[in-house]
Amino acid sequence: MIEKLQIIHPEMALFAATCIVLLIGLSGRSALRSACAPLTGVALLAAAWLGLQSPGADSELMQGMPFPGLLPYAKTLIALIGLLILPMLAGTVDRSYEKAVERGEVYNPMRSTRGEFYAFFMLSLIGVMLCATADDLIWLFLALELTSLPTYIMVAMSTSRLRSQEAGVKYFFLGAFGAAMFLYGFALLYGATGSTFLSEIREAMAEPGGAGPMAMLGLVMVIVGVSFKIAAVPMHFYAADVYQGAGTTVAAFLAFAPKAAGFFTLLILLGAVGWTHGPNGDALPPELRVILWVIAALTMTIGNTLALLQTSVKRILAYSSVAHSGYMLVGLIAGPGAGSIASNGLAAMLFYLLCYGVMTTGAFAAIAALERRAADGGREEIDSIEDLRGLCRVYPLVGWSMVVCSLSLLGLPPLLGFFGKLMLFTSAISAGEIVLVVVMGLNSAVAAFYYLRLAGYPLLEQRHDEAESPTLTPAPGRRLAACVAAVGVVALVVFISPLQRASHEATQLTPLPAVVEVKPASEAEVARR
């Protein structure tokens, strides 16, 4: 039994660190308090390493799971993107309070939020990892909520301004609404199949007539409910308001963690349904395919068109993250394909998640690295696209990170985003989803409009007024995160083949064992006899 814990070793490491961070975050000694972030970093490194050691497809423990090879890829990916986001969290909370303490104010643990901030950050990541590990509906629900609940609080505490608290509350209520939706879906699914275990649900669905209306309604509700996590239409409304209200650093985290959790959930649940329907026997059941199709097409289109006329960089990036969810859904629709890497839509989705995590973190980190004079005389994070003017000349590292990451989000070859998108395209073509590919292509073209603005303002425009222009924040970690992400966007291109192969192996679907038992006749049939 104890060896079963192997599958949650990374979570355990993170949780241990979470407990320590909670404690030392309250310490009266500032040196110990400031050890929170490094400790989180060490824990994430350990989690990444343990994630690599996670039991894979060849392990006994994973037999019966739909995706036996998923864990090493998923956990390492989550830990590493977390590690990328971590340096940019520096200076998000307690900045003014720590200054006051330095000036001689008496330290009051009640006013310090540092420990809980990093603890919530790790708890949320634990939630994402648990989503990928789940083999049971209850577990899945708890994991999803573990991902989201800390983020509600992180949003509220991310700045001292009122609008962050407003965003946090808004996010919480709407999140609860979404959670209710997919919980209802889970209940229906349990009602239809009689089990909460994914492996049993899978077998029940594979039986003739197993995917009945109730199970389908349940799945539809789950998909729509989880759409909240991935900010897909029709659950995308909150994204722009919440991202804008939250501090930039937390917005970056929101753009990745809940989204990853949502996609892992969809992957696992749809894996339980299987891509065995349709005329060629390689598609989702038609009703699921159609609603995912509609959601994907609407999500990318609405996301991109809403981003077009925005002038707030955070809102642009929020809508861009909506649009990217639409792209990734295409991979889910395409399914596991015929065996080659290029036709594996699930691998494309996972690979794109990696690309997206790096690119979007880089873009957020670049704007988080800058601040400007606020109306009340203090310093505030920049938000307007005007603040990006001439950045490449004044702060070349930050400016170029912004340019490279936006161009990669746009999908310009030879950057990382291009290869991610290419894989989605090839898998969708292989699955015969030509219309969806066209929609996606058109959307990529539309998206160029605002991504090129994000790249053009730093690169080509001139600054107007030096005094009013933004300056670097005192937290160098944010610059570091931006640069690392930008370098990753360029350098990971070299490792595309192994990464794609890894995502391909992670998404190998266990074939269902042939149904040998004869199903006992149902009551209705008995009555007919």
Partner 1 sequence: MSLWTHIPGAFSTLAATGVDAGVVDIEMGRPLFLLIPALPALAALLCGLYWALGVKSKFPAWTTVAALAGSFAVTLVAYFEIAAPGLTHVVHGFRWINIAFGAAGGERMLFVADFSLYIDSLTVLWMLFVTGLATLIALYASEYMSDDVGPGYCRFFFAFSLFVVAMACLVMGDNLLMLFLGWEGVGLCSYLLIGYFFKKPSAVNAAKKAFVMNRIGDLGLMIGIMLAFLHFGSLRYEEIFAQVAILQQDGGDLAWTIKAIPYLLLVGAIGKSAQLPLFTWLPDAMEGPTPVSALIHAATMVTAGVYLVARMYPIFLLTPESLTLVAWIGGLTALVAATIGMAQYDIKRIMAYSTVSQLGFMFLGLGVLTSVGAAFHVFTHAFFKAALFLCCGAVMHGFAGQLDLRKLSGVQFMKGWGIVGVAMFVGCINLAGLPFTAGFFSKDMILAEAFTTPGFTALGVIALLTAGITAYYTFRVYFRVFLGPQHFEPGDELHGHDEHDHDDSHGDDGEAKTHDDGHAHDFHPHPPGWAINTVLVVLAVGSILAALAYVFPRETGGWVKGLISTSSAAGAAHHDHEASFFGLGDPHKVMYYVSGVIALVGIAIAWWLHLAGRTTAATSRADAIKQKIGPVGRWAERKWYFDEIYDFLFRYPLLIFSHIFYLFDKLVIDGLVDLFGRSPRSVGAGVRPTQSGGLQNYAMGMAGGLAFIIVVAWLVVWRMSS
Binding residues for partner 1, rule: CB under 8 A, are 166, 169-170, 173-174, 177-178, 181, 213, 216-217, 220-221, 223-224, 228, 233-235, 237-238, 240-241, 278-280, 283, 286-288, 290-291, 294-295, 305-306, 308-310, 338, 340, 342-343, 426, 429-430, 432, 434, 493-498
C-alpha to C-alpha distance for 286 and 297, rounded to whole angstroms? 16
How near is the Cβ of 337 to partner 1 at its closest, in Å?
Answer: 8
Q: What is the DSSP letter of 6?
A: G
CB 307 within 8 A of CB 323: yes
- In the β-sheet with 471-472, what is the strand arrangement from edge to edge? 379-381, 370-373, 471-472
Q: Smallest gap, in angstroms, from Cβ of residue 252 to partner 1?
A: 22
With respect to partner 1, which residue has the nearer C-beta, 432 or 456?
432
Give 92 or 427: the residue with its C-beta nearer to partner 1: 427
What own/partner pairs with CB < 8 Å and gap ≥ 24 does 201-210 have? Answer: 201/137, 201/272, 202/66, 202/271, 202/272, 202/273, 202/274, 202/512, 203/512, 203/513, 203/515, 205/272, 205/273, 205/274, 206/274, 206/276, 206/512, 206/515, 207/515, 207/519
* Residue 295: CB minimum distance to partner 1, A: 7
What residues pair up with 379 in beta bridges, in sequence order? 373
What lies within 8 Å, CB to CB, of 294 at 6+ separation is: none
Closest CA to 446 of 264, 341, 300, 336: 300
Nearest CB to partner 1, comparing residues 117 and 172: 172
Assigned token pair, 175 = 């999140």
Least distance to partner 1 from the beta carbon of 216, Å? 7
135 vs 386, beta carbon nearer partner 1: 386
Closer to partner 1 by Cβ: residue 108 or 311: 311
Shortest reach from residue 35's CB to partner 1, in Å: 38
In whole angstroms, the minimum distance from the beta carbon of 492 to partner 1 comes to 10
Tokens for 252, please give them. 């970056």
Residue number with CB closer to partner 1 (109 or 441): 441
- Residue with token string 């859904």: 329
CB of 48 to partner 1, least distance (A): 22
Say which amino acid occupies 292: L
Q: How far is the CB of 450 from partner 1 (least distance, A)?
A: 11
d(CA 122, CA 172): 19
CB of 144 to partner 1, least distance (A): 16
Which of 279, 513 has the CB closer to partner 1? Answer: 279
CA distance 93 to 211: 48
Type of residue found at 356: Y
Q: Identify any residues that bridge with 372 across adjacent strands, giving them in sequence order.
A: 380
Tell me whether residue 12 or residue 220 sits nearer to partner 1 (CB atom): 220
CB 449 within 8 A of CB 308: yes
Measured from the CB atom, the residue of 286 and 378 that comes closer to partner 1 is 286
